[in-house]
Amino acid sequence: MKIALFGKLFNENFTDSFKMMFEVFTKHNVEIFIYEPLYDFLIREINFKPPVGGYFSGYEDLDKDVKYVFSIGGDGTFLDAVRVVRDSGIPIVGINSGRLGFMADIAQDEIPQALADIIAGEFTIEERSLLQLETSKNGLFEEFNYALNEFTVHKTDSASMITIHTYLNNEYLNSYWADGLIISTPTGSTAYSLSAGGPILIPNTQNFVISPISPHNLTVRPIVVPNHHEITLRVEGRSKAYMASLDSRSCTFDSSIELKIKRANFQIKVLKLKTHSFYGTLRNKLMWGVDKRN
């Protein structure tokens, strides 16, 4: 079996767990390919030169015979792993080397049992939808114009709000007078959209959430729309430039550019342990329903 390890760095308190992973993989004759920046970090920072079968630096040189991509880090690293996997169909395994970890949900103390379960085939595969951004002019996110969490448009200064004219399948929905607007997938509904007052969606629901950021009108609230609808945005304001973001990547654009958001034509596969559930993650990671009185 071939696997790929993706990541950039981790804290020293994760070092023993990382070395233990190599011991388990070696014991089971697993061939390991490693992300080059991660390999450089291991040699430079912790003086660890693990035995590997090869290296990769991105999607183009990722061996497509790899069975799983292990993302070592937090949720930001997991989102970066999506750009490596893309439409290859290779499942991502989220190993949390930090604190919260919503998508990277295998905690450090769970790693030994998690690896045993994965090698034994005791897991499920979830498919997560992505959104795709298209623009009226080339130049925005040409390298990878997809997002697992959300697309966001927001102002670039603190002077004034912007107006975001929004259409669903070319039918006018609303003009949001706000600091920005978030278009979220179900996966991203527990991220930025949630902090802006958006609802939580179950991962396999076929919807987008449109959530305004600090809207001027209090009558405007987040709305859930089917993800087979195409969302068109036209932005105007006093500034000459605005900010667009796909997950953790951002770039600026001007008001002449029309933005179209739709469901991507492929999904990301995520490996989930049978002992984990979305509802359990809500309770444990987001303290869902916690009340001092209980």
Residues noted as catalytic: 75
Separation between Cα atoms, residue 286 and residue 280, nearest integer Å:
10
Separation between Cα atoms, residue 119 and residue 49, nearest integer Å:
24
Burial of 155 (0-12, 13-18, 19+ CB in 10 A): buried
State the DSSP string of 203-239.
TT--EEEEEEES-SSTT---EEEETTS-EEEEEE-SS
Contact in structure between 206 and 129 (CB atoms under 8 Å): yes
Contact in structure between 28 and 52 (CB atoms under 8 Å): no
Residue whose C-alpha is closest to residue 270's, from 131, 144, 129: 129
State the DSSP string of 160-196.
--EEEEEEETTEEEEEEEESEEEEE-TGGGGTHHHHT
Instruction: Name residue 2's amino acid.
Output: K
**The pair of three-digit structure tokens given for residue 76, joined into one six-digit string:** 């930001």
